[in-house]
């Protein structure tokens, strides 16, 4: 592998055999996937449009609105009128998992702590039919503008955007559900044939990410209502950013990890995970590497 630190970390965490599988997945070309936007269309209508355009696809067992395209890239999708109308959203399968694990509820007060560019926020809005009160935090003003554009295009009308560092939210806030897709090293998204995908990756980035992740997760557990649920996720496959962060945040937090149960879970390429109930997805041609943990605050 071209990244010695990552190769060493993966072997130390997973062993040589699993690390070799991970490296193989990082060497594959990832297919294009998308999500039908249920606020504007139906999966059946999207299927009809794709078929008419000559784009072959398969469906995903975990989410009826998701499509895996065969032989079509993002440019082919972006050329379709339904893309311009916001009826579909280009999104990796792995990044659809956190909202599915959270299962956002209609009428709930929901916080998305690191929301840009908005795919998961819009997914939660679609899952609740715009009947949840969603607050979307984004620290960067430019990324917040992109978030606003995407949400408007997707028809997510009940989202309040806050250009704030979610770590500094006042402790009087309270939410029924929280999605924390935390900033991370991106170790799960690396494509070995695309140096740009790992140019910024480093041991220092992993360490710094873990510090930020722990601060965000501690804040989330503070402002989550008693009995409320949250999801912590990263696009990393390193326990420094995943299991270790969750364990550290849960100390004295009066909260616990709940098992994630989703349709089609048996089809996911899962990695060994040292945190019972959490999921760690192995990078493949279909999936980015991703970690997802569902947490409930004690009543």
Catalytic positions, written as ranges: 235
Mapping DSSP to helix (H, G, I), strand (E, B) and coil, where does residue 12 land? helix
> Whose CA is closest to 120, among 75, 182, 78, 201?
182
What are the strands, taking DSSP E only, across the chain? 33-36, 56-60, 63-70, 88-90, 109-112, 133-137, 159-162, 175-181, 224-234, 255-258, 279-281, 290-297
User: In this structure, are residues 267 and 259 in contact, taking their beta carbons and an 8 Å threshold?
Assistant: no
Residue 192 gets which letter from DSSP? T
Helix orientation angle between 16-26 and 4-14, rounded to the nearest 10 degrees: 130
Mapping DSSP to helix (H, G, I), strand (E, B) and coil, where does residue 201 land? coil
The dihedral sign for the CA sequence 195, 293, 209, 241 = negative
Helix orientation angle between 119-127 and 93-102, rounded to the nearest 10 degrees: 50
Mapping DSSP to helix (H, G, I), strand (E, B) and coil, where does residue 158 land? coil
Q: Which two tokens stand for residue 139?
A: 């620290």
């Amino acid at each position: 592998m071209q990244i010695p630190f990552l190769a060493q970390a993966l072997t130390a965490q997973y062993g040589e055999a699993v690390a070799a599988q991970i490296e193989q997945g990082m060497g594959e070309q990832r297919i294009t996937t998308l999500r039908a936007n249920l606020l504007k269309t139906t999966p059946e209508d999207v299927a009809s449009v794709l078929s008419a355009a000559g784009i072959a696809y398969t469906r995903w067992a975990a989410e009826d609105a998701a499509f895996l395209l065969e032989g079509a890239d993002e440019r082919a999708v972006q050329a379709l009128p339904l893309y311009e109308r916001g009826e579909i959203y280009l999104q990796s399968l792995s990044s659809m998992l956190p909202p599915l694990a959270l299962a956002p509820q209609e009428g709930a007060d929901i916080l998305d702590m690191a929301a840009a560019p908005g795919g998961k926020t819009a997914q939660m809005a679609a899952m609740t039919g715009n009947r949840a009160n969603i607050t979307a935090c984004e620290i960067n003003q430019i990324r917040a503008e992109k978030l606003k554009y995407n949400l408007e295009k997707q028809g997510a009308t009940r989202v309040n955007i806050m250009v704030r560092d979610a770590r500094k939210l006042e402790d009087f806030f309270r939410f029924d559900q929280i999605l924390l897709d935390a900033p991370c090293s991106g170790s799960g998204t690396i494509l070995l044939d695309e140096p740009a995908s790992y140019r910024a990756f480093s041991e220092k980035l992993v360490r710094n990410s873990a510090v930020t992740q722990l601060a965000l997760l501690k804040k989330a557990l503070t402002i989550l209502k008693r009995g409320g649920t949250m999801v912590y996720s990263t696009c990393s496959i390193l326990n420094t950013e995943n299991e270790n962060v969750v364990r550290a945040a849960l100390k004295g937090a009066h909260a616990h990890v709940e098992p994630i149960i989703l349709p089609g879970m048996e089809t996911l390429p899962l990695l060994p995970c040292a945190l019972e109930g959490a999921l760690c997805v192995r990078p493949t041609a279909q999936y980015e590497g991703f970690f997802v943990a569902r947490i409930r605050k004690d009543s």
